[in-house]
Structure 1
Amino acid sequence: MTTASKRILSIDILRGLVMIIMALDHTRDFLHMGSVTSDPMNPEVTTIFLFFTRWITHFCAPTFVFLSGVSAYLSSKNKDPKQASNFLIKRGLWLIVVEIVFITLGLTFNPLYNFIILQVIWAIGCSMILLGILSRISHRLVLIVGLILFFGHNILNYLQLPEQNTFNGRLIAFLFTPNVSFIPIGDNHIIGIFYAILPWTGAMFLGFSIGHWYTKEFDENKRKHLLFYSGLGLFLSFIVLRYFGLYGNPTQRIVYNDILKTVFSFLNVSKYPPSLQYYGMTLGPALMLLSGIENLKNWFAKITMVYGKVPFFYYVLHFYILHVVLVIAFFMSGYGVKDIASPQIPFFFRPATLGYSLPIVYLIWFSVVASLYRPCIWFQKYKATHTQWWLRYL
């Protein structure tokens, strides 16, 4: 095995791992009792099992976005700047279309698209467009803008921002700040923006900027040290900033009389939008793990790589499988056609009273991930043996 292949495989292993864990959160969303009515991260009402189930999935989106930046660099290093820029812009546009058309349908099963959901693929698509524009100018510019966005976007927490019902307020929310932002389109359609663009763009830009660490000319030991100590620094910054209530999160931790609730509060940092403390908590360990798995060759690595090599295929398909499972559970639980659409819930076949215990959710999650193993192997082989233009965008 060559050094170059090991470098790419380490990325596939980590990306595959976060894709597997990510499906747990979506399985909980679809099939856990109470998932649409309560916050599993709320220290006042959660349990340790429920909190961990949600918290561990916080590592997925930032790692996936960051690795998307690394992959963007690796895919562009053999192209001229104009060609690489055009590809990133077109792929970003394609990802936005996929989010709106295919992923929204997989999430809602609503063919009328009354509720359009913009999540991580939307954020990656927009960030990729911006990356295509800025990388054409200068890779150093990508790094500078990435650092400013990554470390500086929480400055907005200290500013008096325009009201969200104004144009400027909506623009800032669209780019930086929403927990969730809703934009009505006519009387019967709504766009829900769950991922503000630019805080995620910062993570992608930094991933792109460290992509040169994975070139053949870069020393392997130096790369491992840089990854480990960068991750360690991020994680320690999270500990310090969170403990002392300093910069990097819109809310401070709460100290309860109950130590477990205090720990929950400490770990309950903002994902929507992602705060600097959130990035320190998640990307810090992810970088340290990436440093340590370059030479991993065991059964675990072989399994996770299967999902990591075709993450987009896996991501889209798992929503449809989960929603089909939900439909089966819906009718098995005695619900009828009149219950398909529930008020205030954008997902068809998801009444608030439907759901299972967490052990059942874990069993379904494992089954869904296992069911995608062979299809992912098939698609990986298909991509390797076919040259259709659209395969470059998946």
Structure 2
Amino acid sequence: MKVSVIGTTGYGGVELLRILHTHPIFDIQSLHTTRNEVPIWTEYPHLFNIIDKTLEGINPQKIAEECDMVFLATPSGVSGKLAEEFLDTDIQVIDLSGDLRLTNVDEYRKWYKKEPASKAIIDKAVYGLSEWNKEKIQQAKWISNPGCYPTAALLGLAPIIQSNNIDPRSIIIDAKSGISGAGRSPSHGTMLAEMNENFKLYKVNEHQHTPEIEQQLLAWNDTIKPITFSTHLLPITRGIMTTCYVQLLNDTDENEIYELYMNAYKDKPFVRVRPKGVLPSVKEVASSNYCDIGLSLDQRTGRLTIVSVIDNLMKGAAGQAVQNANLMNGIDEKTGLDFVPLYP
């Protein structure tokens, strides 16, 4: 299958290239940018003599005629407009931005401070949380790839949320991300001098991933109330850790919680539930498509702590996008992604 990537100069886009380069079924047909039309290795020298494609301008009609699938790795506010160009074509579309995730366009305006994509496109897209929306993804032609923070948080929360054994007002998500999650555009907040040996909270109570998380939680359990979602920057390049706290309604043994999670993820190859008493760290999933989950129940307070870790550029972006592409085309979802995390 021939695939095109629009937005290859960002970290999510170049991570897509790393995966697609060795994928046995997807073949990179073309790379596109709104910037200079130069060989891709001039943007990313590590690709020299590996990927010899030249960045091209964006011609949606030509892309749709020459390719079977297009990945939109462009920023929010850009992807939605680009997607409209493919609305009347047969090409499969996977959008890595936030433009197609929120079904309520007013919520998009409020949280993203941009004009939303057309409702026709939003309604067309399936939310691509691979482990929990597999059947719809397999039938879809358009995918809205989840955000990095929502992926980690939702995978960690899903089993307990659907058990209906939590106080619906009690959800707290404490999330931390490596600097690559802020993108490649330079800013004071991501400079080495600012972040080295530092750790900071940002977008307090106003992060744009908040409504995305709440939208999916409500789809699983319509009693859920607004969440508390805090985001922090870590002085590392890549990785996300979310520590989620929920108050249980009933006396529950930790073995029951563990069994609940093991059953929920037993047939989902990229989610690894750690043994009791073992909590994961971001280094243990680096450069992989895995989400590792650890659990701890405080019997004294009745509060469950859920730790989930992902690589923000992989399971949080490009890896999940390829996983969804596999599912859309009847391919084993592990294809092109079944590699060991990079360690140390």
Same fold (TM over 0.5): no
Larger Rg: 1
Structure with a larger share of its residues in helix: 1
TM-score (norm. length: structure 1): 0.26
TM-score (norm. length: structure 2): 0.28
Structure with a larger share of its residues in strand: 2
